[in-house]
Amino acid sequence: MQQDTPLIETRQLKKLFKVGGGAMLHAVDGIDLKIYEGETIGVVGESGCGKSTLGRSILRLIEPTSGEVLYNGQNIVGLGSRQMRALRKELQIIFQDPYASIDPRKSVIEVIAEYMLIHKMHKSRTETYARAAELMDLVGLARRYANSYPHELDGGRRQRIGIARALSLNPRFIVCDEPVSALDVSIQAQILNLLMDLGEELHLTYMFVTHDLSVVKHISSRIMVMYLGRCVELADSDELFAHPLHPYTKALLAAIPEPDLAKRDVDFVTIRGEVSSPINVKPGCRFAGRCDFCTEACTQADIPLIEAEPNHLVACTLHRQAQEAGKERT
Amino acid sequence: MKDTILEIKDLSVIYKTDLETVEAVNGISLTIGKGKTYGLVGETGAGKTTTALSILRLLPAATGRVLGGSIQFDGEDVLSLSESDMCALRGRRIAMVFQDPMTSLNPVMTVGDQIAEALLVHDRKMGKEEVERRVEETLSMVGILPSRKIEYPHQFSGGMKQRVVIAMALACEPELLIADEPTTALDVTIQAQVLMMIKELRNRLGTSMLMITHDLGIVAKICDDVGVMYAGEIVESGSVEDIFSPGRHHPYTEGLFGSIPDLKSRARRLTPIAGLMPDPTALPQGCVFAPRCKKCQERCKTVRPKAVTEGTHRIACHLYGGQAAGSAQGISGGQDAFRRKEEQ
């Protein structure tokens, strides 16, 4: 998996929003992330942690405040709109709400063909529409829906339109922004399987943004856990679930109700309090106020990500101390 | 009969417009014991919320209509009560918590006033001091500082708002609490807090509950009995043990379990249910699940299956219809969905 140039790399990516009175909302606060070709990286966190803003900043759908986004080693922040437009073909997004992200006045086939027409992918309209019909087959939409309008279809089918549209430009990298959270469980499973199959078939690289840990576990090879604009932990999917290191990740895992009667009488280990405000944040660990292991060191300076174990990064003083103690011994 | 708080028998509800008739609930029966929690599980459009609204007689007056069946609450027939009797029941003895805390609170009233309103509607003579005391008590019960009663809903976060809604529902100490997806709009860590609180309050106050959810994890955590609803019918019901143990299950229940991403499984692919819910304006003639069922046979398409009961466990499926209840060994239904758990 570890090739030399990542497909996407962010360096100290930041997005701050002005919120009046000179205050700043730190939505994404210095994220360093490398995404390699062919992998699926999951980004998990609760609402307001900046995961969607991160996804959109990488695609420059939201202009980052500072930092770099490298695509194939080239910094795309600051590129002109013409150059960016050429890149848009390769960088696509699937949105959360299939009800809101599709033009209600276009038929299914028109929605799917639209991007290809804009980018003049094919010589003629006939060819474009033939390709759109192929895409419908690819995502499992019966061709009889070609002339239906989005409101006539259910959520699962509408999300398939969104996927077909994203694939129409032969992208290499797709940000999936909560693509299944508006869907019922049985439909959710269909769409997840579809995304995984397409990923393998077309050799796609995904960034999968979601609040649902069990979904991300299924689809991702690596997972990044975000809390208030910061990456608190980054590890291989299996490793993260087997050995979570950060107290927040542990709490997140413990909070999932499992459909298992053996766990019935085990109480949730709930973390107290709620996510604090992302406006004018104080230095130090963002999770300190809710953390049972909070020490003085946690609130003094920002906690850097360290490699606690091979390929397992965590931003927590607990593990920094453990590592330093280890170093002294050796 | 003394131990049941709510008994629904053969309830059918339709939504009728000039253009079409939606068969939302088709002859469901369920019983909630005193102090017990009944989980009604199913996907969007299964008829869960319609069932809840029928109990409170809150169906939209223009379109919703109860076609048949009965709803007995503590021995009284809810469907034949007068509107004023119904008002006395609603909120006082049966309360409901809606899914979306953002829209179930009045944005221009302080939360304290909203809880006080619920109290005063049912007891106009309650003194001012008594009301204040009860408001503060209820707020601290759900883990909100009583001093926050003068704040408005927008000053609360999503999880806190849902606590306020629950506080309002519990203010009059109802005998039955209907919770319609109370945690769906919340983040997992906040969901865990709210669920623990609901569980704790229920045990302390002895409230019976109808818990509507699509999340089998929540059912496993807090329900005593379960009904799995699909296209307006309860296709399988029983105690949590009946539903969650391996053995005979309705193919839809198996499908639901197969669709959940399992945290411990290493399997990469999920096993979803193929196809979609049937159109409620044109339900299939036979079993409602037949068009999506892997084990569908000829008679499933034409004959509605009768429910087979084995103790508390009830399944409406032709697979189990032929045999006498209890003697059907070796039917492997249910094994697929549970194999993963057994491996551990």
Residue of A nearest to B157 (CA): A274
More confident residue, A236 or A265: A236
Q: How confident is the model at residue A282 (pLDDT cuts 50, 70, 90)?
A: confident
Percent of chain A with pLDDT over 90: 60
Contact B240 A215 (CB under 8 A): no
Identify from B226, B270, B279, B344 which residue to disrupt to test chain A contact, counting A C-beta atoms within 10 A and taking the largest count: B270
Q: How many CB pairs under 8 A join A and B?
A: 120
Q: Is the pLDDT reported for residue B331 higher than 50?
A: no
C-alpha torsion angle, residues B329, B333, B336, B341 (rounded to 10): -60
Q: Is the pLDDT reported for residue B3 higher than 50?
A: yes
Residue of B nearest to A190 (CA): B272
As a whole number, the mean pLDDT across chain A is 89
More confident residue, A323 or A59: A59
Contact B260 A214 (CB under 8 A): yes
Q: How confident is the model at residue B2 (pLDDT cuts 50, 70, 90)?
A: low
Q: Compute how many other C-beta atoms are within 10 angstroms of the C-beta atom of residue A288.
A: 19
Nearest-by-Cβ selection for B189 from A187, A190, A252: A252
Give A208-248 pLDDT, tens digit per residue. 999 888 888 888 999 999 999 999 999 999 999 999 999 99
Give A110-119 pLDDT, tens digit per residue. 999 999 999 9
Q: How confident is the model at residue B267 (pLDDT cuts 50, 70, 90)?
A: low
Q: Is the pLDDT reported for residue A168 higher than 90?
A: yes
pLDDT of residue B288: 92
Nearest-by-Cβ selection for A189 from B187, B240, B259: B259
Q: Using the 8-state DSSP alphabet, how is residue B324 labeled?
A: P
pLDDT of residue B180: 92
Is B190 in CB contact (< 8 Å) with chain A? yes
Contact B13, B50 (CB under 8 A): yes
Contact A135, A15 (CB under 8 A): no
* Distance in Å, alpha carbon of A284 to nearest chain B alpha carbon: 22
Q: How confident is the model at residue B220 (pLDDT cuts 50, 70, 90)?
A: very high
Q: Compute how many other C-beta atoms are within 10 angstroms of the C-beta atom of residue A268.
A: 20
Residue of B nearest to A194 (CA): B269
CB-based contacts of A169, cutoff 8 Å, min separation 6: A88, A89, A90, A92, A115, A116, A119, A121
**Mean pLDDT to the nearest integer, A64-83:** 93
Please choose, from the candidates B27, B24, B31, the residue with its C-alpha nearest in 3D space to the C-alpha of residue B8: B31
Contact A260, B244 (CB under 8 A): yes
Surface of B (45-84) touching A: CB under 8 A = none
Domains and CATH numbers, chain A: 8-90+171-329 (3.40.50.300), 101-170 (no CATH)
Contact A214 B157 (CB under 8 A): no
**Mean pLDDT to the nearest integer, A141-165:** 91
* Distance in Å, alpha carbon of A216 to nearest chain B alpha carbon: 9
Contact A261 B244 (CB under 8 A): yes
pLDDT of residue B219: 93
Give A10-62 pLDDT, tens digit per residue. 999 999 999 888 888 999 999 999 999 999 999 999 888 899 999 999 999 99
Residue of B nearest to A257 (CA): B217
Antiparallel, parallel or unpaired: β B64-73 and B4-16 = antiparallel
Read out DSSP for A10-66? EEEEEEEEE-STT-EEEEEEEEEEEE-TT-EEEEE--TTSSHHHHHHHHTTSS--SE
Percent of chain B with pLDDT over 70: 91
**Mean pLDDT to the nearest integer, B22-40:** 94
* Distance in Å, alpha carbon of A166 to nearest chain B alpha carbon: 22
Is B279 in CB contact (< 8 Å) with chain A? no
**Mean pLDDT to the nearest integer, B122-128:** 88
Contact B191 A185 (CB under 8 A): no
pLDDT of residue A260: 83
Runs of H (alpha helix) within A89-236: 108-118, 125-138, 155-167, 185-202, 213-219
